[in-house]
Amino acid sequence: MSALSDFAWKRHLAWVRVLLTAIAAIVAGLAAGRLTPVVALLAVYLITSAAGAIRGAGQRGLLGMLALFADTVYFLIVLYFGGDRMEWLAAAFFLYLLSEALIFAGPVEVMVIAAASAIFCAVLPDREMRALESMVLVAGVLACGFAFYARRQSALTEELVGKLRAALKAAEKAREEESQRIASDFHDGPLQSFISLQMRLEILRKLLERDTEAGMQDLKQLQALAQAQIRDLRTFLHSMRPVDIDGGNLVVTLRRTAESFQKESGIPVAFASTSTPVGLPAEVTTEVLQMLREALHNVQKHAAATRVAVSLEKTDRGLEISVDDNGHGFNFAGTYSLEELELLRLGPASLKRRARGLNADMQLESRPGRGAGIKFRIPLQ
Following DSSP, what letter does each residue of 328-359 receive, concatenated?
A: ---SS-EEEEHHHHHHHT-S-HHHHHHHHHTT
Per-residue confidence (pLDDT) for residue 95, from 0 to 100 = 75
The pTM of the whole model exceeds 0.75 = no
Give pLDDT tens digits along the chain (381 positions): 444 344 456 667 777 777 877 877 777 677 666 777 767 777 777 787 777 777 765 555 555 556 666 666 666 666 566 555 566 667 777 777 777 777 766 777 777 777 777 776 676 656 555 566 677 777 777 777 777 887 788 888 888 888 888 888 887 887 777 677 667 666 656 666 677 777 777 777 777 777 777 777 777 777 777 777 776 676 666 655 655 555 457 888 888 888 888 888 889 999 998 777 677 777 788 888 888 888 988 888 888 899 999 999 888 888 899 999 999 999 899 999 999 999 988 988 888 988 888 889 999 999 999 999 999 998 876
- What are the backbone angles phi and psi of residue 228, rounded to the nearest 5°? -65, -40
Per-residue confidence (pLDDT) for residue 247, from 0 to 100 = 43
Q: Which fold has domain 243-381?
A: Heat Shock Protein 90 (3.30.565)
- What are the backbone angles phi and psi of residue 268, rounded to the nearest 5°? -60, 140
361's enclosing H/E stretch is strand 361-367
Contact 284, 276 (CB under 8 A): no
For the chain, what is the largest distance between any 2 Cα atoms, rounded to a whole number of angstroms? 126
* Angle in degrees, CA 315, 320, 324, rounded to 5: 140
Alpha helix positions (H), the chain:
3-32, 37-55, 61-82, 87-104, 107-123, 127-130, 132-186, 192-210, 212-240, 250-265, 282-298, 338-344, 349-357
Rounded to an integer, what distance in angstroms lies between the CA atom of residue 103 and that of residue 343?
A: 55
**DSSP designation for 280:** -
Q: Which of these, 88, 87, 86, 110, lies nearest to 99 by C-alpha position? A: 110
Per-residue confidence (pLDDT) for residue 3, from 0 to 100 = 42
Rounded to an integer, what distance in angstroms lies between the CA atom of residue 101 and that of residue 65?
A: 9
Per-residue confidence (pLDDT) for residue 377, from 0 to 100 = 92
What per-residue string of b and e applies to 18-27 under the rule 16 or more CB within 10 Å gives b? Answer: bebbbbbbeb
Rounded to an integer, what distance in angstroms lies between the CA atom of residue 230 and that of residue 213?
A: 26
Per-residue confidence (pLDDT) for residue 337, from 0 to 100 = 92
Contact 251, 312 (CB under 8 A): yes
Contact 89, 21 (CB under 8 A): no
Rounded to an integer, what distance in angstroms lies between the CA atom of residue 134 and that of residue 245?
A: 63
Q: Which of these, 316, 305, 226, 217, lies nearest to 265 by C-alpha position? A: 305
CATH 3.30.565.10 segments of the chain:
243-381
Rounded to an integer, what distance in angstroms lies between the CA atom of residue 234 and that of residue 4?
A: 54
